[in-house]
């Protein structure tokens, strides 16, 4: 069962990957990932109150317009959450395909895409944890609850903003991706292939953190 494989891949990735990476059709994987992403994201943002939405949107939202804004937020979140994981995985697969090609490693794009779907599952768990915590505290969380450098989240320093993008589930996702690349790469190029994708991920994550810390329109 596909849903069971999504759970198993987080703790026992090799058996799941050995089976899933060989399959020719993967539309059901895309569909399930998009559905889970949308449901979890909508559930998470449903905790937003008027003051929270005002802070995020940068405009004053009173109780009279709150319901309309919230409906718009929920629909917008659902729409973005359906497509954003797939687009991210596709772009990531293309980029890693290029980087591996530069280092003379050939892995089919289709397999990298399937691997990307499986490796994305821990990112869904980040949202699950966020929902659970929100249920207890009854207010929305705008930062990942699994931040590796949580003690720096409130810091105004560039270092704190840069490191704030590193999360437990992000590292977990990268670990799964590295396992899959090791399995897919030719035997003599396995260590080189893993090194390429890990270093690429580190650089991309740090750059993302630097952009996140910039003032103005480039910051998230």
Q: What is the pLDDT along the chain (220 residues), one digit of tens a residue?
A: 899 999 999 999 999 999 999 888 899 999 999 999 999 998 888 877 656 656 655 566 666 666 777 787 788 888 999 999 999 999 999 999 999 999 999 999 999 999 999 999 999 999 999 899 988 887 777 677 888 776 665 666 666 666 777 889 999 999 999 999 999 999 999 999 999 999 999 988 888 777 665 444 333 3
Tokens 């990932």, located at residue: 33
Q: Give dist(CA 174, CA 156) in Å, integer.
A: 27
Length in residues, the chain: 220
Report residue 112 CA to chain centroid gap. Answer: 16
Q: Which two tokens stand for residue 146?
A: 């699994």
| Site of tokens 């105004």 | 156
* Domain locations along the chain: 2-212
């Amino acid at each position: 069962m596909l849903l069971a494989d999504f759970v198993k891949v987080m703790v026992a990735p090799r058996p799941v990957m050995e089976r899933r990476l060989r399959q020719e059709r993967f539309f059901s994987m895309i569909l399930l990932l998009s559905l889970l992403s949308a449901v979890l994201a909508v559930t998470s943002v449903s905790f937003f109150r008027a003051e929270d939405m005002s802070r995020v949107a940068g405009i004053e939202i009173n109780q009279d317009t709150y319901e309309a804004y919230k409906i718009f937020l929920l629909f917008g979140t659902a729409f973005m959450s359906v497509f954003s994981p797939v687009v991210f995985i596709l772009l990531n697969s293309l980029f890693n395909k290029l980087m591996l090609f530069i280092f003379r490693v050939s892995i089919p794009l289709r397999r990298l895409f399937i691997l990307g779907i499986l490796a994305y599952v821990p990112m869904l768990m980040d949202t699950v944890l966020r929902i659970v915590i929100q249920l207890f505290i009854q207010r929305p969380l705008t930062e990942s609850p699994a931040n590796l450098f949580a003690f720096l989240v409130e810091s105004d320093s560039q270092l704190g903003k840069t490191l704030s993008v590193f999360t437990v589930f992000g590292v977990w996702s990268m670990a799964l991706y590295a396992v899959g690349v090791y399995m897919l790469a030719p035997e003599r190029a396995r260590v080189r292939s893993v090194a390429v994708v890990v270093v690429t991920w580190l650089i991309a994550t740090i750059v993302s953190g630097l952009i996140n810390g910039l003032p103005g329109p480039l910051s998230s």
